[in-house]
Each structure stands twice: as C-alpha cells, then as structure tokens.
Amino acid sequence: MKRFVKFDVVAFVAACTCALMMGVAHAQQPAVSATVASSAATSSASGAASASTAISQLLPYLPAEAAVKDALLSSPLMQAARAKKEAGTARAQGIDSGSAEFTLRSTSQRRREVATGAQLHESMVSIERPVRFWGKRGMDADLATQTQAFADIEYADAMHEGARELMRFWFAYLRALADQKNAVTTFDLAAKMQRLTQVQLKHGEISQLDAELANAEFERITAARSVADAQLASSASAFTRRYAGMVLPTHMPAALRLDASKNLPALTDTMAAMRQEFLDKNHELNMMRVDSQRLRLAADRATRDRLPDPTVGVFSGRERAGAETISGVMFSMPFPSASRFHHATALVADAQAASDKVLLAEQQLGAMFDSMFIQFQHKRTAADNLKSAAQRQALAAEKSVKAYSLGEGSLSDVLLIARLASDNLNAAERMQLEVVELLALIRLDLHQIWDFDE
C-alpha cells in the first residue's frame, strides 16, 4: 500500500512538472491560426515589404487588424476626433473666406424750407465692404491650408494614440492571462500534493511536518490564484468595456511555449535609421511642425495687417423730393494704432517659441525612441536567458521527482523546486510579452502595423 501511494505521488508530481515544462502546451491552435489568417489577409493589402515583414513577425501575438480598425472607428475617442476634425475644416474655410462683410446703410430725412414752409422728403442708400489687399488674400489661403493640415494630422494622431492604447490593454490582458495560467498550474500541483500527503500521513509515509508544509503551500497558492483570477477579470473587463466588438483569447500564444523553436522577432535596421523614420512619421511632432508654420504665417499676416484694410462702397440718394439725385463711391481707411504693431510682434515671438518647441520635441522623442530600442534589445536577450533558465529549472524539477521516487530528498524539496519552475516559466512568459509589446509599439510608431491614417 505504501509503495502504491508513493507511486501515485511520483506520478502526480511528474505530470504537473511536465505541465510546467510545456508551459502553455494547451494553447488553442485553431484560434491562433484563425487570427493569423485574418491578419495575414489584411496585411497582404499593405504592399510595403517592411510592413509585411513586421506584421508577419507579430501575427501570433496581436489581434486581427480588421477587428482593431473596426473597434477604433466605432470608439467614442474617434467619434470625438472626427467631430474635432470637422471643426478644424470649418475654421480653415472661414479663414480662407475672410471676415469681411457687406454693410448696407439707408437713411431717410425730411427737409423743410423756412421761406416757403415746404417739406421735402430725401433718402440715401449705400453699400460698402472692406477689401483685403497687399497680398493678404493669398496669405489667408496659405493659413487656411495649414489649419486644415493641422486638423488632418490631429485626427490621425487620435487614431494612432487609440491604437497604442488598445495595444497596451491587449498586452496587459495577456500578462494577466499568463499569471492566471501559472497560478492554475501551481494550484493543480499543490491541490494534488495536498490530497496525497493526507493519504501518506495516514499510512506513515511522511511526517506531520511534511503534511503541514504541503497544506501551507496549498493555502499560499490558493490565495495567489484568487489574486490572479481577479487581475485577469479586471483586465478583461477593462478591455471589453472599451472595445466591445473584440474577442479576447483564452490561451497564451503558442509562440511563447518553452518548447517553441521559433525565436522572438528582432529589429534588423540600425537605431539611427529607425529613429529618423520615427521622427519623420510621428504625429505629435508633425502637428507641432504644422502649428509652427501656421503661427509663422499668422505672424506674417499680422505684420501685413499693420496697414488696415480699406473700406469701399457706392451710394445713391434723392434730395428735394426727387428734384435732385446723387450717386458716388466711398472710400475709408482707419489710421493704425500701436496695438497692431504690438500684436504682430507678439505673434512673431509665438512663432519663434513654437519653432523652438519643435526642436525640443525632436530631442525628447528621439531620446524616447532610443530608450525603447535599447530596452527591446536588452530585454530580448533577457527573455532568451529567462527561457533557458525556465527550461533548466523544469529539467531540475523532473530530476527531483525521479530522485524522490528513489527515496532521495523530501517532499518539501519537490514542492520548492516545482514552485521555482513555475515561477521561472511565468517570468519567462512575462519577459517575452514585454519584448513583443516593445516591438509592436515600435512597429506601430513606424506605421508598419495598424496604419489606419485617413
């Protein structure tokens, strides 16, 4: 009977150790394949070789591109951005058309001749309008073009930031899923060992101390599983509340398994080349560039506006009850005050400040990209090391089971090594997810994936 119980212990521990060694061996291959096929069909339309390579590298880890686009376009964020773009378009059209308006004037009066006492009705009608001159019309057209360009880039930036936010929530869910799967694996191991140690204790196979250790381990892992379940539910709720039309996976990507032969995707281009491409395509920086140009045009327009626009018009009138008619043209022009000069000077300073902010933003964004690039390279190396460590720890757990079956070591040693193997597996999966998330963010910022700019 003792030999039979001990054989069951070894069998259960060996089975759970194999589960740790396989990592996420029960990943749902059809679901991943469906996502891969759907995203591949979308990526084939891009045409760009670099974008196609980037998409193929990240297919096992990301949701389908079509589902992402639909979720973003239907989100309140993009609806607000679309309304804001329409407002920018209307402002641009208003700048182009100008603020000048026709003014209609009408007067009616009575003339009374003192000598005769006769009363004569007289009236006058005039129409007038300010006129832009000195090249102001063309400058307003250029200013309207820059205003429209700013609205377009602002909308594209909202789409891009929405995609970044979706990606962060997606990987936050995958990390919570990895933690929950690890908690379930260790919970199953602890539950089986806790049940078997009670049987062993009754038959005198183990000491009371070993049984208490198994019970304590089971309680610790039960608490850890509850926390992992709560984190997974919270991450899933945060994602689905924002993107109701998207389906979350229930299994980790098969590419993260310990026995997966495929290495993590890498960056082949140099950091300097990718940084320059990032700065050229960055929406935030392009908005600042366009805004700087817009302020420069506004400053030039204000400088021209130091000479006020004239007002011209025509008039027609009847005097002495129609005995006399008059007609003519009107011309008026205000004398400029010092406020026009100060206003133009302020706009020139604003334009210079905006230009300086562009240079500062280029430095900051370039440093941010360098940090992402360096983190990716080092974390990719760390992920490979953690994967190797997890594989070695899984082998150590397997050997500890064999040693325990031969009467060497103790149950506490088996539990400790199995827990370390599970923790190392979880650390390797989380690091791989961090690496993939960094790569996905870099590819997204380079507009090589999820490029939904309209």
Alpha carbons within 13 angstroms on the beta-carbon side of residue 379 total 21
| 3-state DSSP helix/strand/coil % of the chain, to nearest 5 | 70, 10, 20
Q: What is the pLDDT of residue 414?
A: 80
The pLDDT, as a whole number, for residue 368 is 97
Copy the structure tokens of residue 410: 């103790």
Please state the separation of Cα 304 from the chain's center in Å.
42
In the structure encoding, which two tokens stand for residue 4, read together?
């039979």
> What is the CB neighbour count within 10 angstroms for residue 103?
12
What does the alpha-carbon distance between residue 418 and residue 409 come to, in Å, rounded to a whole number? 13
Res 28: pLDDT: 35
Query: What's the angle, vertex CA 373, arms to CA 258 and CA 272, rounded to 5?
Result: 140
pLDDT at 411: 72
**pLDDT of 31:** 35
pLDDT of residue 237: 96
Which one-letter DSSP state was computed for residue 322? G
**How far apart (Å, rounded) are the C-alpha atoms in residues 224 and 327?**
94
Domains contained in the chain, CATH given: 2-99+148-306+339-445 (1.20.1600.10)
Of 157, 180, 170, the C-alpha closest to 64 is 170
State residue 18's pLDDT score: 54
pLDDT confidence of residue 17:
53
H/E stretch holding 98:
none
Mind listing the pLDDT tens digit of every residue in the chain (454 residues)?
444 444 454 554 555 555 555 543 433 333 333 333 344 333 334 334 555 666 777 888 899 999 999 999 999 999 999 999 999 999 999 999 988 899 999 999 988 888 887 888 999 999 999 998 878 889 999 999 999 999 999 999 999 999 999 999 999 999 999 999 989 988 887 888 788 788 878 888 778 888 888 888 889 889 999 999 999 999 999 999 999 889 999 988 887 776 665 678 888 889 999 999 999 999 999 999 999 999 999 999 999 988 888 999 999 999 887 788 999 999 999 998 899 999 999 999 999 999 999 999 999 999 999 999 999 999 999 999 998 999 899 899 888 878 877 778 777 678 778 888 888 988 998 999 999 999 999 999 999 999 987 5
At 416, the amino acid letter reads: L
Question: Looking at this protein, which amino acid is placed at residue 277?
Answer: E
Say what the pLDDT of residue 292 is.
96
Residue 56 contacts by C-beta under 8 Å, 6 or more apart in sequence? 40, 43
- Widest distance between CA atoms in the chain: 144
Query: Of 58, 64, 56, 19, whose CA–CA distance to 38 is shortest?
Result: 64
- Note the pLDDT of residue 135: 84
User: What are residue 311's DSSP bridge partners?
Assistant: 130, 332
d(CA 72, CA 169) in angstroms, rounded, equals: 13
* pLDDT of the residue at 30: 35
pLDDT value of position 52: 67
